[in-house]
A and B are shown apart, each in its own frame.
Chain A
C-alpha cells in the first residue's frame, strides 16, 4: 500500500461588475441584454482621438467594497494599459491596474458549516474595464457586440487559502452577500455580474515525499454550484493525473480550463502557443487618484454592518439558531427589517418565526423581496406580540399575515375581523369549563381517576370546551383551568 495524503490549494480571482449607471470611462448606459452595439459611443469603441474619463462612483464603489473586505486603501493609485489583441477589446488594450492597485492586504471571513468562520486573505482589489462579447455563430464567422465594453469591474484576488470546494463556494456566497449589502453590485451570477476563476492545485505527500500538481485556472463558471463542482472535479482530475502520469508543477505551466456545465467537467482551453506578454505601462490618458481623509471618511460613512457580523449578532443577541440568522441576513433589507421589527417591540424569536416561516415564503411565492410585501415592521412586531400574548394562535398568525399583505390592514383589526382572537379571559373561560364539567360527569370521573383513561378524558373535555368556544379559546389557558378544577 502506498501512503498517500493530499491538501487542496485554491485561490480565487474574482470579477465583480459594479452597479453604476454608466460605463467606467464614458457615459454609455449599462444595460443587460440591450440590442447589440446599442450602448456604444466613440470612447468605448476606441475610435481614434477619444479619451477616457474615470467614473467617480465606480471608484468610490471599489473603495467601499475594498473596505468591506478589510483592505488597506491606497493613498495613491494609477491605471495601466494591459495589451493583448482580441476582437471584443476594441483598443486592443485593457485599462486596468498593475503595480499600484487602489486597495490591498485585506481578508474575508467565510462562514463554515460548523458554524465557525475562516479567514481568507485578500491580496488586492483593483478597478478595471470589461471587454465586449464575441459571439460564435454556427457559420464561418464570429460576431462582436461591444455593449459590455468598458463596464466597471472590481477584480479581487485572494491568497490560495481555501482547502475544500465547500470553502470556495462559501467564499463565493459570502462575497455575493457582502457586495450586495454595501450596494456596489447586483452580483447576479447568471448575468455575469460575478465571475469566479479558481486557481487550483494539490500538495501531495506520497511515500513521505512532497509533490505539487500543476496549477489550473478554471473559467466559465456561471453558478455557485458550478464553482463548487468544478473544484471537486479538478481535485479528482489532478489526483488521477498525478497518480497515472506523475505530473507535477515543475513539468508544465499553468493551464486554463473551461467548465462545461452540460458534461460537468473542465476542458482544456485552446490557447495560442506564444506566451502572454501584456506589456503593462502607465495609462497616459488617465490621471492618478489620490485618496484623502475627508473623502475616505465620506465613503466609509456609506458602510453598513456586514452580513456575517449581523448574522453573529443575531445568534448572540437574539439567541437565534445559526441557520435562522443566516436566512434573515441573506439580504440586507430583510435583516434590517428584522432588526427594526425587534426594535419595535416584537420578541426576536417570534419575529424570526413570522418572517422565516411566513413572510419570506410569501415573498418568494410572489417573486418579490420581503420588504416589498407592503407590511411594516411595526405591524409584524404587533403580530408577534399577539401570538406571544396568546391573543391569536400560531396558525391564525399565518392567516393574519396573509391578510396583512393583501389588505394592508393592522393585525389586531384583522384578528377581530376574521374572528381569530383567542379567548384568554380566565373568568369567562372558567364558567364555560365549569358548565362542560357538569354536563360530562362520566368523563370528569375518568379524568380524576388517575387511570389509563384519565389523559384521554381530559383531552375530551378540552375538546368540548374548544367546540363550545368555536375554537377561539386559548388552549393553554383552558388546560390550566381544567387542571385546576379537576384537582379541586
Chain B
C-alpha cells in the first residue's frame, strides 16, 4: 500500500469501509501516518486532529459492525481549509490575529460532512484570510507543491490542493473568491469545483469577499467532486444568500455522471487564451480536440469585458474585505496588543501586529475604494463593470453549454518568484475571477503537464446552477484522458 488515498478515490474508499474490507481506523491511521511522514515537506496542515479522528473512525467502524446505516462519506478521511469553523480545534485563517481562536460553532458544510460520517483529519494551510494565489501569504507555514517542492501549490486553498495531490486526505474543502479553489487545483493536478454563488452555505466560512466567496471541493476525481457537492450543497436557513430548492432544484450530482453530454457546444474565447503560456495553450487545445473527437462542437465567442475583470474584482473584493475584517480588533476575540495606551491603540496596534502585508494591503485598497470622494469612481464603477461581465456570460451561454479556458496563464511558479510585485500576482487571476464576479460555477480538471511535469488545468465554466452538466462534461474528458491516474513522485 503505497498511499491509499492516491490508489483509490473517496467513492472507492467508502465502499471498502462500508463493506468491512477496510476499517475506517486502519484507513485513517494510514493517512495520519502519511501526514506524519510527508507533511514535514508539504506543510499542508496547520492542525491535525489525530486523537479525535481515530476516535471518530472507531465509532463509525462500530456502527458499520452493528449494521447501522452510515452516510455518504462513511469513514473517509477528509480535511478542510482553515477558514472553515470547526469546534474541534482552532480556526486561524492562517493569520496571527486569529491564532488560538476557537469557534463555538461548526460551519454548515462541516456539519454536513459530519452528518455523512466523514472523518475530519485537520485544518489546511491557506493564504492569510484567503488573500493570495500561492499560499505564501500564510503566517503559519510555507506549503509546497507535491509535484515540485520548490514550487508553490497555488492559492489560496494551497493546503487543500497539496494535501489531496499528495494523498494526505481523500478529499478536501476549500473556498474560492477569485480562483482560490481552481488555481491551486490546476497547480497540483487535482479537480477543483467552485459552485454557483448561493449553491453552498457560507455559514461558518470566514468571510473575505462575501458576494464572491463560495465553498467547494478539491478532489482527485470528478466523481468525488460530484459526491462532495451532493454532501455540501443545499439550502441553509443561516445563510440568506444560500438558495432554496425552489430557486434551484438539487439533484444527485453523481447519478448520470458517466453519461456523455450529447450535442455538446463548447464556447472558446481565442482572444483571452493567447494570454497564457504556450504550453498551457497547447494543453488546452489538445483537450478541446479531444472534446471535438467526442462529438462536441467548438464555438468561438467573445467575452468583451473579461479584460476588466481583475480591476473590478480587486475593488469589490477588497472593499468587502475591508469591512469583513474590521471585526478583528483585539476587543472581543483574537490577538490584542500588549499595553495599549488607549482603546484606539487596541485597534490600530492589534491589527498592525496581527495582519500580514497582503491583508493590510487589501484592507487599505478596499477602504480607499469605499471612502468619501472615491466611492463612485471605484466601488460603484466596479459594480457596473461586474454587471457587464455577467451580461457577457448570459449572452455566451445562449450559444454554448459551457465555456472552456485555461485556469492560470502559467503552471506552478517557484516559491518567492512573485512575492515582490503584488500587481503581477493579481494579474495572474485573469481566467478565474470572472466566474466569481458573475456568480457562475466553474471547475478545474487536469489536462496534462508541461515539460517540467507540472500539472495544467482545464477550466470549464457553465451557467448558474448547471453543476450537474458541468461535472458530466468534465467526466467525459477525464475518462478519456485519464490524467487523474498520474500522481506526484514523492520520495
Contacts and interface: CB of A to CB of B under 8 A. Distances in A.
Contacts of A48: 85, 91, 93, 98, 101, 103, 206-207, 327-328
Interface in A121-148: 142, 144, 146
A53 B241 CA distance: 9
Interface in A410-442: none
Interface in B321-362: 322-323, 326-329, 331-333, 343-344, 347
A466 interface: no
A204 to B, nearest CB: 31
Given A42-B105, A144-B331, A52 B240 contact: yes
Given A87-B343, A92-B326, A93-B323, A45 B332 contact: yes
Q: Is the interface of A mostly helix, strand, loop or mixed?
A: loop
A267 interface: no
A90 B332 contact: yes
Interface string B82-107: 01110000010100001001011101
Contacts of B105: 42, 47, 50
B241 A46 contact: no
A242 interface: no
A85 B332 CA distance: 13
A202 B328 CA distance: 43
B107 A284 contact: no
Interface in B385-421: none
Interface in A33-81: 42, 45-54, 81
A142 B331 CA distance: 11
Contacts of B372: 277, 279
Interface residues of B, number: 45
Contacts of B98: 48
A52 B324 CA distance: 13
Interface residues of A, number: 30
A39 to B, nearest CB: 15
B370 A49 contact: no
A171 B300 CA distance: 67
Q: Is the interface of B mostly helix, strand, loop or mixed?
A: loop
Nearest to B107: A49
Interface in A315-355: none
B240 A281 contact: no
Contact of A83 (B84, B205, B241, B323): B323
B194 to A, nearest CB: 17
Contacts of A448: none
A284 B327 contact: no
A47 B83 CA distance: 12
Interface in B194-241: 202-207, 209-211, 237-241
Given A92-B327, A144-B331, A51 B206 contact: no
A188 B332 CA distance: 30
B240 A51 contact: yes
A81 B370 CA distance: 11
A324 B91 CA distance: 64
B478 interface: no
Given A90-B331, A279-B323, A281-B379, 12 more contacts: A42-B105, A45-B332, A49-B84, A49-B207, A51-B203, A53-B237, A54-B240, A93-B326, A146-B332, A279-B371, A284-B209, A284-B210
Interface of A: 42, 45-54, 81, 83, 85, 87, 90-93, 142, 144, 146, 277, 279-281, 284-287
